[in-house]
Amino acid sequence: MSESLAAQLESFRSYVKKMKSYGEALDVMYWDLRTGAPRKGMEARSEVIGELSSEMFKMSVSDEMGRYLESLSEPGTFERLDEVNRRLVEECKKEYDRSKKIPPDKYKDYVVLTSQAESVWEDAKHQSDFAMFQPYLEKIVAANLEFIELWGYEGHRYNTLLDMYEPGMTVEKLDKLFADVREQLVPLVSAIQQSNNVPDTSFLKQSFDVAEQKKFSKFILSELGYDFEAGRLDESVHPFATGLNPGDVRITTRYLPEDVTSALFGTIHECGHALYEQNISKELIGTPLCTGTSMGIHESQSRFWENMIGRSRPFWHRYYPKLQELYPDRLGNVPVETFYKAINTVQPSLIRIEADELTYNLHIMIRYEIEKALFDGSLSVADLPAYWNAKYKEYLGVEPPNDGEGVLQDVHWSGGAFGYFPSYSLGNMYSAQFRRTIEKELGDLDDLTANGRFAELKDWLVERIYRYGKLQTPHEIVTRVTGEPLNPQYLIEYLRTKYGEIYGL
């Protein structure tokens, strides 16, 4: 590499790092908003977030950025860059080409809107009052529709939003994937509902001291390999993970005094996200490549650790005695097998984050259908509650008694995260496919879990997935790791085997 190219590259990397620094400061502010910032300061904080976001946005579409990208993308120059810098240029150019089409003042207004909307959503959810949130959501949807027209799209408008979270994913591909899964899982759910082998769950709905729940959650996090020197566990209305950099990856959970499992599995889920972010290669720090390659791959890790590890029989044979020690009066006389079956009960329900592993995918399909309808113009925001309730009746046979347990239950739309929800089910599919490869290379996953070989398992994931950050696309990762493109049949086989055994099918 010539001295002039090396100097130019160093200048470009410095510019990108400055943008990333703005992003990290913003992430801390968002984390603070959701974990206990004073409510009276939220409006002013939203304005500050808007100002900083606007500055970062201006940098991403500046003439200076344009000159860097034009020069470094030139034939003959681009080929001389190493893998990391080529990928960095590609990622920045994709963002530049898209963001350049959005006027900076519109972007700032949108950031302020979504920052305010999240606080309003919290109140609306608590009061089950959709009308309170509706005007904010209408503005968010309208802004996204305007942005899509500016960005451009191929096929369905929703494709542009999908690509932001799962590069290369389209409505056409998702329709087929979801149809395949729905076609094979609905009969399984039906067979389970007709089974006489119904697990006893009554003992789960007791009073469980929150202080002991916190203690157990932190213990499990340590066992799984979460690095508390590079993160922390807090509380929020909706569990989430925030990766500032590999040395600071924070997670939250929500404790329910009457449910010992909700916070635990929420914690393990977010732990999966955090293990990914804490183990990205340090050479990617200060660049937009220092994050998960897509939300689908990210969710594959949260769902893998939550369900395939955390809800497995060997996991509880290993850790149930510890939980019994914390709650001897509640769980002391409950056998481990009874507990295992209870936490894997299949029961159509209202709340996505508390849904069982099997019907969870139907919750995602409902949101997918709703988002498609919002962006093809066939559904208005005002009609959302009725449409939501009808879909729950159709897909799951249940009907929300209020909007807090219905259309207002998720935080995502308040932040404008349309196109995000499908990544949850894609994550389930990826995780089952990765599991298949793990068992070929490391041995039976149940044996690994029973013996607490989580460090070995994590090392395998770090080497094959985590360390790459955003260096490779989701398709490149899944085909490199497993030898084939995404295949939903692995998820279907896993669910049939697990739940067939539990319900004696």
Predicted local confidence at residue 384, as pLDDT:
97
The model carries a pTM of 0.91
Annotated binding site: 269, 273, 299
Is 283 catalytic? The answer is: no
Per residue in 144-193, pLDDT (tens digit) is 999 999 999 999 999 999 999 999 999 999 999 999 999 998 899 889 98
Q: Shortest CA distance to 211 belongs to which of 203, 199, 200, 219?
A: 219
pLDDT (tens digit per residue) in 321-355: 999 999 999 999 999 999 999 999 999 999 998 88
- How far is residue 357's CA from residue 414's CA, in Å, rounded to a whole number? 25
Confidence (pLDDT) at 143: 96
Q: How many CA atoms lie within 13 A of 115 on its CB side?
A: 28
Order of all β-strands in the sheet with 241-245: 233-235, 248-253, 241-245
Length of the chain equals 505
Which positions ≥6 away from 494 have C-beta within 8 Å? 308, 432, 435
Question: What does the H/E/C string look like for 173-233?
Answer: HHHHHHHHHHHHHHHHHHHHHCCCCCCCCHHHCCCCCHHHHHHHHHHHHHHHCCCHHHCCE
Q: Return the closest-CA partner of residue 306 out of 279, 268, 274, 251.
A: 268
- Alpha-carbon distances of 207 from 203, 257, 329, 347, rounded to whole Å: 10, 6, 11, 22
What would the CATH number be for the domain defined by 3-152?
A: 1.20.58
Name the more confident of 53 and 139: 139
- For the chain, what is the mean pLDDT? 94
Q: What's the Rg (C-alpha) of the chain?
A: 23
Query: 262: Cβ–Cβ under 8 A, 6 or more apart, which residues?
Result: 254, 255, 256, 353, 354
Q: What does DSSP say about strands 241-245 and 248-253: parallel, antiparallel, or unpaired?
A: antiparallel
Q: What is the largest CA-CA distance in the chain?
A: 74
Which residue of the set 118, 122, 166, 270 is catalytic? 270
Nearest residue to 53 via CA among 26, 90, 86? 26
User: Percentage of residues in the chain with pLDDT exceeding 90?
Assistant: 85
Question: Per-residue pLDDT tens for 351-378?
Answer: 998 889 999 999 999 999 999 999 999 9
Q: Which long-range contacts (CB under 8 A, 24 or more apart) does 394-397 make?
A: 395/362, 395/365, 395/366, 396/348, 396/349, 396/359, 396/362, 396/363, 396/366, 397/348
Please give the backbone phi and psi of residue 431, each rounded to the nearest 5 degrees, phi first. Answer: -65, -40
CA pair distance 487, 177, nearest whole angstrom = 9
- CATH architecture label of 171-503: Orthogonal Bundle (1.10)
Whether the predicted pLDDT of 1 surpasses 70: no
In sequence order, the β-bridge partners of residue 235 are: 253
- Per-residue pLDDT tens for 241-296? 999 999 999 999 999 999 999 999 999 999 999 999 999 999 999 999 999 999 99
Please determine, for residue 388, whether its predicted confidence score (pLDDT) is greater than 70. Answer: yes
- The structural domains of the chain, with segments of one domain joined by +, span 3-152, 171-503
Q: Which residues of 166-188 are buried (b: 16+ CB within 10 A; e: fewer)?
A: beebbbebbeebbebbeebbeeb
- Kindly report, residue by residue over 7-22, the tens digit of the pLDDT: 999 999 999 999 999 9
| CA–CA gap between residue 281 and residue 274 (Å, rounded) | 14
Summarize pLDDT for 110-138 with one digit per residue, the tens: 988 998 998 899 999 999 999 999 999 99
Tokens of 403: 């909007």
Which residues are known binding-site members for Zn(2+)? 269, 273, 299
Angle, CA 437 vertex, CA 433 and CA 439 arms, to 5°: 115
